[in-house]
Structure 1
């Protein structure tokens, strides 16, 4: 029994080192040799306590039948005596709970001993459904193509976001109805959040920055009310970030895209109006040719700027790439696919600014041409085979799925997508 305790304590201490920097394989505290062969180079392991040190620690606490463990006591709690002069305690009806200490295991509110909701006192409203949605609305949402896809994605073990565009409804004065419908869909089991707009500020939907800000603020407030607890996201591009320190580039690109001011967009995160900001990479290859800034340098510039602005202190930043898919299906060799994955998947993550990467695995243009990152009807190809090897970063990879345009059917498609992606944005209409 004692050997088992020592082993368990040592194992727990050693696992705490996963993820800490280990700058060299010669580092005596490096445990990179314990990780899988396909672990990305930027994921490292370092012992906080080596096995030998963990054994010493365990033996200290377990010596003499655990004498030191028995002697160790919790730190005395900080208590305030409300009867002492100078101490001010709020009345119980204005504070939390009932204003008194409770024993361990004793419910804070009378009537909740069995985990139930206490009965309301006369004239008191003690619970209100925050979503204000009927069972009929929830059931109807679950029967839609998007609702069925949400169920299939959840069954496949994916984290689900609802993907929608509410800018048109907001401009037409129909936001309330659109949000209500979207909230019912987001209430389905397994849904983590709602992305309510894409390419915001890049297209011609909004005529001014103030109008765009009002849309974000009002839509966010409506969704917070009808879909409480769900994360909110927005997708856009911020071309000026790719200029880096080139002042001429920043001046011209900023004038070309006046609505896409990084300070204004960053404020949506800082104000809590959105929880996730996805930055598209579609413009990186062509936007900066005048200043001899190629795609790789523009991407590096962008993520340096994002880090400098500390957007990740307010929410999650995602990289988004629709260019990974090819008309029909990719015809890359294994080596070419590996290089593209390095450039478009590994680089944003290694730049330590994007926490997730969203790849469009299938999309269709206005002429009906389908672009995929896998083979038609899920036929094997080198690109998809290489992507399936990224098991270590699967939780950080997401894709977009349109249930109205399936490859085969929602269940088949999402099961296959779950082999590469840990998250999926299900298009709502």
Structure 2
């Protein structure tokens, strides 16, 4: 009985065969290369989107809550928010909720802003001095809105750096004036860059005293009084956000005399992170599945090429068996060839994917990233696919009758 061929000899013969057919081997690996590169790239971009969203949410502050008008149903349906949140609500939260440190009510509206011959659209926010510490904003030049500005309803404005660049590209903005609805506002400060949150560029905003916003731009609602866009609430610390959310909810239910459905919502950074994590996690999983389909296509390509190879190498297989090679030796050789093709293709595809992820992170604001575990799993998956799809051609080669195979010589 013939002895079992050593594994080292089997690997050497497989490599020699693949080396002798370089072009075919490269074309066979191409499907795995594309599949692995797709998985690495898509998962990296998906995780980058998740990292970007989490970074933007972290900039809001770990112990900041947002009280917004409207129920969950109105937000899901995309209808206009009812004017259910008023300035008195913000005052009550500040005075009656023990877990709260500061409260910053806000009214926002999109307006055309002019400076000389230049004009642009910007979000104008009426805020109080508490806005700065609650939202962790900083002033780069000049100063922010003071209590005196708010009490006197002064026509002063603090602008974001991007808005400054649009309106005053060649000079300092502090001390200049801009016009909002044909009303003159003195620029008293320029904010530090803050970046975008959920696609909204915070650096293009302008901030004026809340009292000025009411008296000059929005006015009072005859039924509700001063209607707010939302209220930013800073809890005493991160551990106080849960109690603060509970206390604010109960307080507003009492104030609004709610029996069933809330006409407001209280959201924390943790809530937003959970939602974002669920969405981006599902997106990453979907993108990974798309890349996985590419790997399966590459595996099918390996199987088809190896089946063709078995047909072309019938004489070789018959001669080896006639000289004493066992069916298991032939089986192992073809499995090793499939494994080598898939593994090398997986390594090359991983390198291509990592290069693509690096390029995305370098040339775009998306912090695309990929973990070592994903790389190991992807390379291992490509090798497994090579073995799985190599079984059929390997079994066909192993089951060839040497007498029938030698007749084709």
Q: Identify which of structures 1 and 2 has the higher relative contact order when contacts are C-alpha pairs closer than 8 Å and 6+ apart.
A: 2
Higher share in strand:
2
Higher share in helix:
2
TM bracket, shorter-chain basis: under 0.3
Q: Structure 1 length as normaliser, TM-score?
A: 0.19
